[in-house]
Chain A
Amino acid sequence: MLSFTPGRAARPFLLLLLGVVLVSATPALAADEPTAEPAKTVKLDGKELFKTQCKTCHGAKAPAGEYTPMSLIQEQWEEHFDGPWLEIHGAVAAPANADKKVSDLIDAATLEAIRKFCIDHAADSEQPMTCG
């Protein structure tokens, strides 16, 4: 490493040092990030689906209880979707939809997208959301 005490004798070295710095002043290389995107599947918008599939029964002051993603913590949403969701909603009819069971109206992919939205925006997530 360069180390010196400038004095009279050091002046030429100082200029030399400046030269070295000039030459070695290469711009920092941009991080070489992979740009490949994961294979595209049809993207389901969990937020939109929550609005259309859940808020209908779980809006403000709803008899079935008001639920937004930030009503529960992540662990509670996981527990809910792992069991009680199907149990409860398999017994609930949707009057606006020919009285079909709620669980028959919502396919697996849709429910998965809603589940992800709820967990990503749960009360203890980085970005709690009411879903608007």
Chain B
Amino acid sequence: MKRTALLAPVLVITGLAAGNSPAATREYSHQDGYFEHYEGTKTCLQCHEEEATSFFHSQHYQWQGETPGLVNAGGRRLGKLNTMNDFCTNPLASWIGNAANSDGKVIAQGCSKCHAGLGLKPEPTLSRAQLENIDCLICHASGYRRDLYRDEAGHWDWKPILWQNQPGLDSVSKRISLPERTMCLRCHAGAGGGPNFKRGDLEYELADCSPEFDVHMASAGNNLHCVDCHRGDDHRVRGRGADLAGTDSPDNPLTCESCHDARPHQVAILDRHTDRVNCTVCHIPTFAKKDPTDMVRDWSTPQRHDVANKWSATITMGQDVQPVYAWFNGKSRVTLMGEPVQPGPDGVVTLMRPEGTRKDKAAKIHAFKLHRATVPLLEDRGWLVPLAVDEFFVDGDLHKAVVEGAAAAYGVHDAAYRWVPVQRYMGIFHEVQPAAGALECLDCHREGGRMDWKALGYPGDPLLAAID
């Protein structure tokens, strides 16, 4: 059976790691003699030029990549760098630098905080400077932390917090392993500006959670690491979900069926569902089980936070959120910067919409976090405008943030703009429950159940139709 064959290596890995973090149980050869002092990425490049080159070309470094998952990208290479999202909008206007409030407390550090580089913007052409800019340790060294420091010339760099403590830095930089959950979560759980703000199903709790929280990643359980599912070749991670523009591994997709059988149940009626209902729909009844997640971000109404002494958008959080359900055939439609938006009948612009309908045999119903927001729109052109968010957090000057965003993104000065409601469908794939926690028949097949049959293209509950 397909599943056993594929699971075997996974189980070996987890078996070794069971109960203890790999860092605690493994001897690292990097610790005896590969190098004496860590002097930045060039230390690793002595032996890993090839891996550094592969990382340089990845979506993780370039923030742009191939777009076979989008129906309207026209072959363009897209990613975080040249698209706009409804959280922190776009990095062009806020790449790097500490933004401090009037108490001197740092409240934002720029979008490069989530880039696996040491401060330079990624460039498409390979160079020594770009290779040395890669931050290998953020994914490969346990106990590594970095912060933003400015040199005398006023230039910002991400550096290890131990940069003035060479013996400490040497110790940490030798704790090399394949990435553990905590390393991936350094960026993915903090995305969107706070714990679990962005995804909803990628939270810090996953570092050390119970099986009821996530049956795959539970430390005292299957203890899978992110890479056990996402590992590809040559630094190309597998999986883009439903709302990311670029894809690192177009030919090596990741689905639940990569490991499980497409019909894994001993109950025939359940297996009959899997053609049209994705596994996640039944197996992830709710997300954001610990840290609340950002459900609505209204940039048009600044909020003052007196204690923290800063400004933000008005954010509505949700906890233990029930997903929304929609058809998805693996492709999405994107609303791009520099193109006129096309609002739906309700006036809402969908930034990322899953493609597919009931009639489309390649489509299945999937579970989504539906994120809503209000963002600026360039008056004459109808283009989305990113905000220069970091300065806004400090001074609350919204108008300035929009005008600067329009200048950075389009070179348009003194932009005239208005506000537009937007939404994004974000796939939910983590926080899978143990089998016993799956949805039951009546969660869907009853009056007021989870499925909005009409919206999904059914005349009514198909179970009743089958009984009739």
Q: Using CB atoms, name the residue of chain B closest to A130.
A: B161
Q: Is A1 interfacial (CB-CB < 8 Å)? A: yes
Q: Of the 9-residue stretches B24-32, B87-95, B250-258, B434-442, which lies at the interface with chain A?
A: B434-442
Cα–Cα, bound, A25→B145 (Å): 46
Distance of B7 from chain A, by nearest CB (Å): 22
Distance of A131 from chain B, by nearest CB (Å): 13
Interface flags, B171-207, vs A, CB<8A=1, else 0: 1100000000010000000000000000000000000
Q: Using CB atoms, name the residue of chain A closest to B167.
A: A76
Q: How large is the interface on B (under 10, 10 to 19, 20 to 34, 35 or more residues)?
A: 20 to 34
What are the residues of chain A within 8 A of B436 when measuring CB–CB?
28
Please tell me if the beta carbons of B267 and A72 are within 8 angstroms of each other in the complex. no
Please tell me if the beta carbons of A18 and B268 are within 8 angstroms of each other in the complex. no
Cα–Cα, bound, A53→B210 (Å): 39
Distance of B281 from chain A, by nearest CB (Å): 17
Please tell me if the beta carbons of B466 and A73 are within 8 angstroms of each other in the complex. no
Contact of A1 with B172 at beta-carbon distance under 8 Å, contacts A18-B441, A25-B442 already known = no
Q: Is B102 interfacial (CB-CB < 8 Å)? A: no
What are the residues of chain A within 8 A of B171 when measuring CB–CB?
73, 75, 124
What are the residues of chain A within 8 A of B266 when measuring CB–CB?
1, 3
Contacting B at CB under 8 A, from A23-70, are 25, 28, 31, 70
Q: Is A91 interfacial (CB-CB < 8 Å)? A: no
Q: Is A123 interfacial (CB-CB < 8 Å)? A: yes
Which listed residue (A14, A25, A31, A71) contacts B165, Cβ 8 A? A71
Q: How large is the interface on A (under 10, 10 to 19, 20 to 34, 35 or more residues)?
A: 20 to 34
Cα–Cα, bound, A25→B443 (Å): 11
Q: Is B75 interfacial (CB-CB < 8 Å)? A: no
What are the residues of chain B within 8 A of A31 when measuring CB–CB?
210, 212
Distance of A19 from chain B, by nearest CB (Å): 10
Please tell me if the beta carbons of A3 and B161 are within 8 angstroms of each other in the complex. no
Q: Is B129 interfacial (CB-CB < 8 Å)? A: no
Q: Is A6 interfacial (CB-CB < 8 Å)? A: yes
Contact of A17 with B161 at beta-carbon distance under 8 Å, contacts A11-B467, A28-B436 already known = no
Distance of A91 from chain B, by nearest CB (Å): 23
Q: Using CB atoms, name the residue of chain A closest to B271.
A: A3
Cα–Cα, bound, A14→B441 (Å): 11
What are the residues of chain B within 8 A of A17 when measuring CB–CB?
269, 441
Which listed residue (A21, A70, A72) contacts B441, Cβ 8 A? A21
Interface flags, A76-96, vs B, CB<8A=1, else 0: 100000000000000000000
Cα–Cα, bound, A124→B175 (Å): 11
Interface residues, chain A, CB within 8 Å of chain B? 1-6, 11, 14-15, 17-18, 21-22, 25, 28, 31, 70-73, 75-76, 123-126, 128
Interface residues, chain B, CB within 8 Å of chain A? 142-145, 161-162, 164-165, 167-168, 171-172, 182, 210, 212, 266-269, 436-437, 440-442, 445, 463, 466-467
List 4 extra interface pairs beyond A31-B212, A128-B145, CB under 8 A. Answer: A11-B466, A73-B171, A124-B144, A124-B172
26 A–B contacts from the bound complex (CB under 8 Å): A1-B267, A3-B266, A4-B268, A5-B268, A6-B269, A14-B467, A15-B467, A18-B441, A21-B441, A21-B442, A22-B442, A28-B212, A70-B145, A70-B161, A71-B164, A71-B165, A73-B162, A73-B168, A73-B172, A75-B171, A76-B165, A123-B162, A124-B168, A125-B143, A126-B182, A128-B145
